[in-house]
A and B are shown apart, each in its own frame.
Chain A
Amino acid sequence: MDEVPPYSLQKLIDYLNTASMEAGKSIYLNLILARKRAWDRVYDKIAEYSDRKISPWNINLHKTQEQDLFILEFKPKRGEERSRLFYWKLLTYNEHIIIISFSTAEFWDIRRCLDSFIRCTEGFWYPWIGSKFLENLDLFITSVIGQEATIKVRPLSCYERDKRRKFGIKEIRYPEEWMTFKEFGDELVEDRRKGKFVFLKKIRCYVIHAGSVFKCSISDRAQIMFEPGGSFHLFAELLRPLVDRIQAMQENFRRKMIIKEEKVLVEDKPIILKTIQELQVLTIRPEISNNWFEGFIGLFSNNEELKREGLVSFVLASGNPYFLSHMVDITHGSSVYLSASEEQIRIAPAESITKAETVGTILELVEKFIDPTINVEP
């Protein structure tokens, strides 16, 4: 490897702080969710990924002195190019793992290496945090580092629903100037009042607190770019609360159905009686848009539109006003029941356990096309 790997998290944070402040490097942080079963097979998955003919990389996962700190090395198959390194810190929960990935590689390297690996590997995904979270990021930051912090925002990537466009959305531009979250929120509310459904994909913000400053951009899939010159130590304080939030959302997104079986003997013949002990349902109430129900039916009945997102919809009931569809997520191999009445959208499991990625994909679609203000508070 080209660089001497930091062997503990504290050393890694010190190293990244120096890289940002002195060497002027950008730091890319990605929060990745993984199923424990998938992580147990990570070496097999890496080997399978590397063995692909089209893959330009050979990947190695190195252990460090700290048990839950790993280094993922992307080594080019051809040429003398240097390796790209990703430092992975693992946080283990009951059935899944949250990985915080740090890297000082270039932007396109992130796309070519990490994004490609996550996209192609089953059981690993970027968690959904949503547009509404980005809109209220200041509340999250001040709750962690204190009310006296100065926080400003500049929207980077915003979209508006537009049925006339091929993909149903169009990019819109806000003035490229720093503003407070309140000013930005007022603009969004004003736009939405006029009937423009704007949702945020990526924002840029800066934070000043107790003589330290940092700038970063963050996407609705928890992909963060930390800009050069900032205090990584200050930023590192936000990481754990962010992970906790994602963990809590993950719990909310995982839907399950428990059915109890009971065996009874009648005239010496055994018979099984089943009872639904628990059926977990995620309920959301859209607030702003007036005709969201019609839009909802239109979107989730149109398999051509859903194909792009890797979803297949089997509509069971439509109109009344009541909608029920069995949504199969063929990207992640999981399915849910999606239902809606005039007041609520509900997501319920279609098998014993529904994968969080599937619920995240559906919520992202609802946010993109139906209501940008949807949020699932942990």
Chain B
Amino acid sequence: MGLISRHEFLVNVAAFLASNVVAGPGGIIPSAGVLLKNYGYELKLPELEKILTFFGKSGEKVPDLCMINSKNGILLVFECKSGITDTKDNTDTNNKLRFIEQIKFFKSEQFQIICKKIYNAQKIEIVVMTYNESLNDISQIIEKDIVDTTSIIVWTIPQRIYKESTLRREYGKHEDRYLDEGLQHGIIFEPPVNDMLIDPTIPDNILLCRILSRLLSWYSKSMLIREDTEQIITVDKFKKTHEDWIRSDERLKDLLRYLSILVPELGTYDRNRNEYIIKLRPRIGAILKKQKDIQQMSDRQFKEELRRRAPKQRLRGRPLTGRIKLKSKDKGALEPFLRK
């Protein structure tokens, strides 16, 4: 697989299964939206940052996806897991502990009450979606480390996507009999046709690249007749065009600001007006190169690069000779930025 992460792929497969997909005249997509059409489970995407405000404790994560069946009131809460790495310590690479914590949080009373209110649900089932190869690890963890295993179900998909890949229920049992029978026999699915920005775990550098490619479509190559209004992109305009944006306005503003710092070849961000202004002639070659570099960065490298380049941007136009000192007003503006 290429640049889409294994986790993001799982999230998109699940979302694609519960979306209303209309195929064009050239053929059909038989498995598209199968969970919606045949079993009545509808995907509902909440505002990510807002939903976190309901859960007081810091460090808790929102579910990867939620699907609700409004007829029987069952809410499926998804935790997509591309694999388990247990390094026996409490570092970032040890995602076993985080997984256990996450499931425990989904089972907590606080989470259940809030989610039932948001989705108007009667019952919550936790679906752990994973690849076939990770099934044993995940089943063992659930059996061993989680006390209350009721309503925990594990779905698997194959690692390699063939033309008829099958989604199966491998652990636990759904209360919805029809869904349970369907998954027991296997539901055929096809890979997703697009990439919606719905995975809450996408790192900033990847999210930035996705926004970059979307902004580029605003730019028109025709140098002759240009619609001036299309070159200035406000947050509202972006959200209206790309309705799969489920994060907050603030987050989008931050990312547009990062983009203007890391890829100045595409455009600039006006903080006062909250507008992104695309250059008249962006250098596509340079942008593609930057995009490739940013995608390959780790989270830490991305932050360092941002930190390294940010002061230079702020100080552009200052004399290069002598020692550059930040004036107090610059410090005031930069410090909150660097803290983010």
Contacts and interface: CB of A to CB of B under 8 A. Distances in A.
Q: Does B associate with A?
A: yes
Interface of A: 45, 48-49, 52, 120-122, 252, 255, 257, 259, 262, 264, 266-267, 269, 271-285, 303, 307, 310, 312, 314-322, 324, 326, 328-335, 337, 339, 341-344, 346-352, 376-378
Nearest to B194: A337
Interface of B: 1-4, 9, 15, 19-29, 32, 42-47, 50-51, 53-54, 114, 117-120, 160-163, 190-196, 209-210, 213-214, 216-222, 224-227, 230, 240-244, 246, 284, 288, 291
A344 B45 contact: no
Nearest to B12: A324
Given A121-B224, A266-B117, A314 B27 contact: no
A45 B47 CA distance: 41
Contacts of B194: 279, 324, 337, 339, 348-350
Contacts of A322: 1, 161, 191
Interface centre among A267, A307, A310 (most CB of B within 10 A): A267
A303 B287 CA distance: 12
A303 B118 contact: no
Given A333-B219, A341-B163, A350-B214, A122 B227 contact: yes
23 contacts: A49-B225, A269-B54, A271-B47, A273-B44, A276-B43, A278-B20, A279-B20, A279-B194, A281-B22, A281-B24, A281-B32, A282-B25, A307-B284, A314-B209, A316-B195, A319-B2, A322-B1, A324-B195, A330-B284, A333-B219, A333-B220, A341-B161, A350-B217
A241 B3 CA distance: 45
Nearest to B8: A316
B164 to A, nearest CB: 9
B1 A273 contact: no
Chain A, interface SS category: strand
A285 B26 contact: yes
Contacts of B240: 352
B291 A283 contact: no
Nearest to B16: A279
B2 A269 contact: no
A316 B4 contact: yes
A45 B222 CA distance: 13
Contacts of B9: 317
Contacts of B218: 333
B27 A330 contact: no
B208 to A, nearest CB: 12
Given A337-B193, A348-B193, 8 more contacts: A121-B222, A264-B118, A281-B21, A320-B191, A333-B218, A333-B220, A334-B217, A350-B194
Contacts of A271: 46-47, 50-51, 118
B217 A351 contact: yes
Contacts, number: 205
Given A316-B2, A316-B3, A316-B195, A285 B117 contact: no
Contact of B225 (A122, A277, A342): A122
Interface centre among B191, B222, B225 (most CB of A within 10 A): B225
A342 B117 contact: no
Contacts of B50: 269, 271-272
B23 A319 contact: no
A354 B54 CA distance: 36
Given A122-B225, A274-B243, A266 B118 contact: yes
Contacts of A335: 213-214, 216-217
Contact of A320 (B1, B23, B29): B1
Contacts of A45: 225
Contact of B222 (A120, A252, A346, A348): A120
B114 A310 contact: no
Contacts of A315: 2-3
A122 B1 contact: no
B288 A351 contact: no
A122 B2 contact: no
A330 B3 CA distance: 22
A314 B212 CA distance: 10
Given A269-B53, A328-B213, A348-B194, A274 B246 contact: yes
Contact of A332 (B45, B220, B243): B220
A292 B220 CA distance: 31
